[in-house]
Amino acid sequence: METAGQKPLVVWALNISVVVLVLLWIFPTLGLFVSSFRTGEQITASGWWSSMFPAEQTVQLRAADPDDNRIETSAGVFIVEGNIFEGGDTLTIDAWATSSRDLGAFAAGETADLGDGETLTLEADGSYVWQGDEDQLSGRGQRIFVDATVPPEFTTNNYGFVLFDEGNSEGMAKAFFNTLTVVIPATIIPILIAAFAAYALAWMDFPGRALLIAAVVGLLVVPLQLALIPLLSLHNAIGIGKGYLGVWLAHTGFGLPLAIYLLRNYMVGLPRDIIENARVDGATEFQIFTKIILPLSFPALASFAIFQFLWTWNDLLVALVFLIDSSGQTTVMTKQIVELLGTRGGDWEILATSAFVSIAVPLAVFFMMQRYLVRGLLAGSVK
Amino acid sequence: MSGVTMNKVIKKYGDVQVIHGIDLEIEDGEFCVFVGPSGCGKSTLLRMVAGLEETTGGSMSIGTRDVTHMDPAQRGVAMVFQTYALYPHMTVKENMGFGLKMNNHPKKEIEEKVAEASRILKLDDYLSRKPAALSGGQRQRVSIGRAIVRGPEVFLFDEPLSNLDAELRVEMRVEIARLHKEIGATMIYVTHDQVEAMTLADKIVVLRLGHIEQVGAPMDLYRDPDNKFVAGFIGSPAMNFIKGTAGDGAVEVPGLGQTIEIGIAPAYKGKSVDVGLRPEHLAIDPAGGDLRVDLVESLGGVSYAYLESPAGDRIVVEERGDDRVSEGQMVGLTFETQRVYLFDAETEMRIRT
């Protein structure tokens, strides 16, 4: 009985924790996404979750200017007719009022008595009749407070401003392309080197192979921060300085141990018979590598590519040390967002949009390649 | 096409010697089977022929070429592995053509050879499939087809049927025999299954612990084994061995309660010998005796009765016909004297009479 009762408990705990994790991940992402389509006012006025649904809202409108529009219907009686939604969005009127102290006093179609015979009638379609004597219908148009249900409203202006506004010196467009310039070579170069190295360490016999593997595993645990300053001074000494070449080399170096380790573990698990058969078939080592090993290692290659892509994309530290100089021409997105937090700290719509621009590509990559991520990870480490 | 010659071939892993100076001549077009228990070195020897294991000492030649230190690709051999070793990311057609493609043969020639091999092995319907979409038997056929396409001088089979279920194994065994007839190439076949060895081989090489125990045609090994190991290894169920003592022109066998009149040389007088009797050469003595029937396995056409003697010897008897023993019965045995094999208990060598 006890064992029968325990298993569902474990399963429940597992399911609940998965749900919790998914929610933890989804809510901030979704919030960021929704906020990036709202104006700054909307963000300060209400939470992103309420923006998804129609909201009850009081809108202040004004009748037409009486001095220009009044018509004398009979002696001393003037009216102003019109539609309060003219020149704006048509709203569904739930209730209305003429004073801010008494909101929602009248239903649509009712007539409000403004005192001394002055009246105002507002119909459901927004048309109104304002009636009174010469003095009453003068000066500015009568204020009308309409309680209306407003449909969700979103704007793409934030994206226009952040990505495409030429005049915006803090835009993300340049930083986006700078990040791409860093990330693509910083992903491809280590994979190329690591694939060759992993094949040699897995399948070629040479003296010192075991020592090399041990060295790679040892390098896995060396923290990156340890190498920042020596590496930068090396770059300066050999004339690379700060720039894309430097950051590519740095990312390659920092990524290689894990890349070699993952790929080697995967390749070692490939069946020996297949490789021996290729050898009997007359394939050279290089042909075995390109025709047999590489295609069969695709899941592992893909999973490492995703990893390397994600963390070079999100990297700030290495870019700050090896790339970004005082000219500001090589700013990457992470750095740009840090800057924005300082200069535009209050403009949440700009921050949310910039942040979403920077997470959009990793999200897309993750969702497209997730099956390789899981498969490559399991095959590389468990086997 | 050509035979394989091994001359004092040795294999060492560090200080551990696993192949101890093998001398062997395999004729052109011969089907040669290496058999032996696990760890006897039969697969190692095959891989040395293939060039996948370096030969530590001695020399090896295929035809007239010395291949002792040649790369696998240049030896003119093709190998079929127990695990099929198909390239999982290629179709059947690409798998079969891979070897020729690697050696830069023209496309048209590859097409023709693949078509020919797939006709022989009836693989035409599967050419565009990937190995994952094939059954075990089909995969092994592709693997054999891949060997055929390369047109090697020597085919090497490393336990090719071990991963198949019993029914397919019989089917593929027949297919390999047919293939050998059709192609006529030299084939070396490694197995631990003596049924495969008996049915396929022109020549069987029995190996134990890196030594050749005996080489010969299947029926020669069955009828005339050189030693106790070969006698016990060839034949199913295995030969019974009962302890006995040599006397004057006779061997006393207490396990059977009999003294066998046999022309054993006087030099052995008083020495202990092992008496070998195959289950199929024994018959139950209806008169009864002091052997107890322990267990009976009935396979339909034949039954195997497991007997135990008062001295503790275990004896298997094959029974045919309608009148069979049942468990717990006390029985005796009869046999023809010329079916008795004698072995020196010390050296395990055959004592010929």
> By percentage, how much of chain A surpasses pLDDT 70?
95
Which phi and psi (to 5°) does residue B2 adopt? -165, 160
Per the domain annotation, does A40 fall within a domain? yes
**Same domain (yes/no): B210, B324:** no
Same structural domain, A165 and A106: no
Residues B177 and B264 in one domain: no
Residue at token pair 């395999």: B26
Q: What is the ipTM of this complex?
A: 0.80
**Residue A155: inside a domain, yes or no?**
no
Say yes or no: B76 and B178 in one domain. Answer: yes
- Together in a domain, A30 and A82: no
User: Helices H, strands E: what count in chain B?
Assistant: 8, 21
Question: Is B223 in the same domain as B245?
Answer: no
Domain hosting A30: range is: 2-51
Q: Which of B190, B218, B233 is the last residue of a domain?
A: B233
Query: Which SS3 state, helix, strand or coil, does residue B186 take?
Result: strand
Instruction: Report CA dihedral (A331, A336, A338, A341) to the nearest 10 degrees.
Output: 150
Q: Are A287 and A275 in contact (CB under 8 A)?
A: no
* pLDDT tens per residue across span B294-317: 889 988 888 899 998 887 888 999
Tell me, what's the pLDDT at A3? Answer: 52
Neighbours of B6 (CB within 10 A): 22
Instruction: Give the mean pLDDT of chain A.
Output: 85
Q: Is A71 found in the same domain as A187?
A: no
**A163 DSSP assignment:** I
Mention every residue, 6+ apart, whose C-beta is less than 8 A from residue A27. none
Report whether pLDDT(A57) > 90.
Answer: no
What whole-number percentage of chain B has pLDDT above 90? 29
Give the H or E element holding residue B30: none
Residue B332 and residue B196 share a domain: no
- Domain with B187 in it: 4-233
Helix (H) or strand (E) run with residue A292 in it: none
Helix (H, G, I), strand (E, B) or coil at A110: coil
- Alpha-carbon distance of A109 to A127, in angstroms, equals 9
What residues pair up with B304 in beta bridges, in sequence order?
B297, B318
Q: What angle do CA B138, B141, B147 make, to 5 degrees?
A: 150
The average pLDDT across B242-252 equals 86
Contacts of A291 in chain B (CB under 8 A): 98, 102
pLDDT surpasses 90 at A184: yes
Q: Are residues A269 and A196 part of one domain?
A: yes
Tokens of B222: 């069955």
Measured between beta carbons, which residues in chain A are less than 8 angstroms from residue B82?
273
Mean pLDDT of the B105-112 span: 91
Select the more confidently predicted residue: A46 or A355: A355
Contact A96, A147 (CB under 8 A): yes
- Residue A251 and residue A353 share a domain: yes
Contacts of A142 (CB under 8 A, 6+ apart): A62, A63, A66, A98, A114, A120, A130
Report the range of poorest mean pLDDT among A88-92, A205-209, A344-348: A88-92
**Are B197 and B251 in a shared domain?**
no
Whether A71 and A204 share a structural domain: no
**What is d(CA A315, CA A182) in angstroms, rounded to the nearest whole number?**
10
Q: Which of B52, B85, B98 sits opposite A271 (nearest CB)?
A: B85
Q: So what's the pLDDT on residue B1?
A: 52
- Which of A273, A283, A295 has the CB atom closest to B102's CB atom? A283
The CA-to-CA distance between both ends of chain B, in Å, stands at 42
Q: Are residues A188 and A241 in the same domain?
A: yes
Q: Give dist(CA B142, CA B165) in Å, integer.
A: 17
Band (A6; pLDDT cuts 50, 70, 90)? low
Optimal mutation site among B67, B77, B101, B114, interface A, most CBs of chain A within 10 A? B101
Percent of chain A that is helix, strand, coil (3-state, to 5): 60, 15, 30
Looking at beta carbons, which pairs linking B64-70 to residues 24 or more positions away fall under 8 Å? B64/B2
pLDDT band at B228 (very low <50, low <70, confident <90, very high): very high
Give the one of A273, A274, A281 whose C-beta lies nearest to B99's C-beta.
A281
Per-residue pLDDT tens digits for A340-382: 888 888 888 888 899 999 999 988 988 888 777 666 555 433 3
The pLDDT value recorded for residue A60 is 81
Instruction: Indicate if A167 and A179 belong to the same structural domain.
Output: yes
Quick one: pLDDT at residue A380?
A: 39
Task: Give the chain A residue whose CA is nearest to the CA of B87.
Answer: A274
- Domain end: A113, A128, A150, which one? A150
Domain match, B184 and B295 both: no
What are the tens digits of pLDDT across the range B65-93?
899 888 888 888 999 988 888 888 889 99
Q: What is the pTM of this model?
A: 0.74
Least confident of A99-108, A190-199, A292-301: A99-108
Given a contact cutoff of 8 angstroms between Cβ atoms, the answer to whether A316 and B108 are in contact is no
Give chain B positions within 8 Å (CB) of A274: 85-88
Do residues A375 and A298 touch, judged by C-beta distance below 8 A?
no
* 3 state DSSP class of B314: strand
Q: Which of B218, B233, B248 is the C-terminal boundary of a domain?
A: B233
Q: Is A90 in contact with A78 (CB distance < 8 Å)?
A: no
Same domain, B108 and B205: yes
Smallest CA–CA separation between A293 and chain B, in Å?
A: 10
The mean pLDDT of A192-210, rounded to a whole number, is: 92
pLDDT of residue A382: 35
CA distance A295 to B89: 7
CATH number for the domain that contains residue B119: 3.40.50.300
pLDDT grade, residue A383 (50/70/90)?
Answer: very low
B39 shares its domain with B142: yes
Could you tell me where the beta strands, DSSP code E, fall in A63-197? Answer: 71-74, 77-83, 92-97, 111-115, 118-122, 127-132, 143-150
Average pLDDT over residues A292-303: 88
Alpha-carbon distance of B29 to B107, in angstroms, equals 29
**Same-domain status, B189 and B58:** yes
Selected for mutation to probe chain A from B48, B87, B114, B130 (highest A CB count within 10 Å) is B87
- Domain C-terminal end among A92, A125, A150: A150
Same domain, A241 and A273: yes
Contact B250, B261 (CB under 8 A): yes
Whether B85 sits inside 8 A of A274 (CB atoms) is yes
Residues A222 and A282 in one domain: yes
CATH number at B300 reads: 2.40.50.140
Shared domain check, B188 and B265: no
Whether the predicted pLDDT of A2 surpasses 60: no
pLDDT, position A257:
94
Are residues B114 and B214 both part of a single domain?
Answer: yes
Of B189, B207, B233, the last residue of a domain is B233
pLDDT of residue A379: 47
List, for residues A148-159, the tens digit of each pLDDT value.
777 777 888 888
Domain boundary among A13, A35, A51: A51
What pLDDT shows up at residue A185? 95
Query: How many domains is chain B partitioned into structurally?
Result: 2
Of A89-103, A314-328, B225-239, where does mean pLDDT reach its minimum? Answer: A89-103
A193 pLDDT more than 90: yes
A114 plus A189 within the same structural domain: no
pLDDT of residue B183: 86
Q: What is the mean pLDDT of chain B?
A: 88
The total of structural domains in chain A comes to 3
Mean pLDDT (whole number) for B51-69: 89
Dist CA B279 CA B299 (whole Å)? 15
Whether residues A71 and A41 share a domain: the answer is no
Q: Which residue's structure tokens are 């002792």?
A: B68
